[in-house]
Structure 1
């Protein structure tokens, strides 16, 4: 598997210095005429300098791949795209990620069109949030995004309570360079973006995993953190079992108490009736 070590590290430091909490936007993108099928068929190009790379790329980058013995180095034209199945894709400009992690929460950041940034003052309708949260993770406070004013602010085209939410009818894909074990060479690979439904980790973008708790693609540290905070199954079942036993015991004790009260009441009623009958007999004898 081909890892973008250097790009990832540079992006991380860039994120630290420019978080969406302190800025109006974080990243930029470019519109393209490529569809997801076009990108899957793009040939990965080797390079020595940025000038060797096509316009719709982020220049020449160093990639490394561990071959089991040592790291192999490749200089390739970096291309990272965000796509839907039935529309043209966006080129993520000078960044390899579209969200950041804040206190064990995935945080979707705002992007703007690079041409807009160069030619006019940025308006709210020029901004787009590429990351989308799975609704379950959002409700459990595991995922948030920059504030969306309406669905057009979200790449998923679904804004819910000021947060961009995964649209099951409009899934998002990240397309980037990955290593093909079958072909033995780097290729363009398109996989589900974070927040999208998945079955196994290979369904997800290469830096991420399929979280088996929510069945969505997420960053490994996010998945690990909320699994640690989740009660083990045996604790849950033990708690449920104890609750059932306590409820049954309370029902039995309550039933016994009610039955004993009824028995005492009946016995007392018998005594009262007996006394009344005895008094009546004594009264007849006197007469």
Structure 2
């Protein structure tokens, strides 16, 4: 994958006029319109704009029409992408959240310095998010029947609500922008433990019921035999 450095700020990117032409303009990330889907499942076809920005610096443009986080669920991996105009330069755009890294569902290519990471935060060879300067992913969306480029928090960034997260991710599992299918071990255990306890209790109740049922049956049989003996 490739990227281009730009002189666009995050405000400039959000002011891009989205085109639906058969041939997309130079500021888009693809030559022709792409098939896209909103968080609510609405489908539309339009030129794809795919930028990554910080609040107070210039943005970069991904030259892939696909999200860099596409199809990552419980095995997220941030890899280097190459500068199209200067192939000797490369950068890891997507970084890990401390929580997902700790749970071993996120890692990145090895970084040597902060400059290797778009987050500007290389920790022990892994690109980590920078809570003080989060990355925003800017992409084409549809709101109120209007196409626009909207910049929202990138995958793995800290969040407070679903509305803050971009790339069709959701704010979940400890307030992180993630794919809705992502699970973290302790979150899974949080739901599994009550289920297991409920199953065990149900089994105990069932066994006790069967024992009591058999006892009642044996008592009836014994009583029937005693009555028969008295008659004889």
Alignment TM-score, normalising by the size of structure 2: 0.74
Verify: 1:141 aligned to 2:104, yes or no: yes
- Separation in 2 of the partners of 1:103 and 1:185? 30
Match of 2:188 among 199, 214, 229: 229
Deviations 1:173-221 (A, max 9, x none): 000100113xx2111111000111111212111421111x221101222
Match of 2:119 among 142, 156, 163: 156
Q: How far apart are residue 234 of structure 1 and its match? A: 6.6
Aligned length: 194
- Separation in 2 of the partners of 1:73 and 1:214? 31
Q: How far apart are residue 102 of structure 1 and its match? A: 6.3
| Match of residue 29 from structure 1 | 3
Report if the CA contact (8 A) 2:9-2:59 is conserved. Answer: yes
Match of 1:208 among 159, 164, 169: 169
Report if the CA contact (8 A) 1:98-1:109 is conserved. Answer: no
- Separation in 1 of the partners of 2:169 and 2:37? 17
| Match of residue 30 from structure 2 | 58
Report if the CA contact (8 A) 1:100-1:106 is conserved. Answer: no
Deviations 1:216-261 (A, max 9, x none): 10122224x64763233874xx9xxxxxxxxxxxxxxxxxxxxxxx
Q: Secondary structure at 1:138's aligned position in 2?
A: helix
Report if the CA contact (8 A) 1:137-1:214 is conserved. Answer: no
Q: How far apart are residue 101 of structure 1 and its match? A: 5.6
Verify: 1:177 aligned to 2:127, yes or no: no
Q: Secondary structure at 2:8's aligned position in 1?
A: coil
Q: Which has the higher helix share?
A: 1
| Match of residue 178 from structure 2 | 218
- Separation in 2 of the partners of 1:103 and 1:202? 20
- Separation in 1 of the partners of 2:171 and 2:27? 33
Alignment TM-score, normalising by the size of structure 1: 0.61
Q: Secondary structure at 1:220's aligned position in 2?
A: coil
Unaligned runs of 5+ in 2: 198-232
Task: Look at both structures and tell me which one has the larger radius of gyration over its CA atoms.
Answer: 1
Unaligned runs of 5+ in 1: 1-26, 239-287
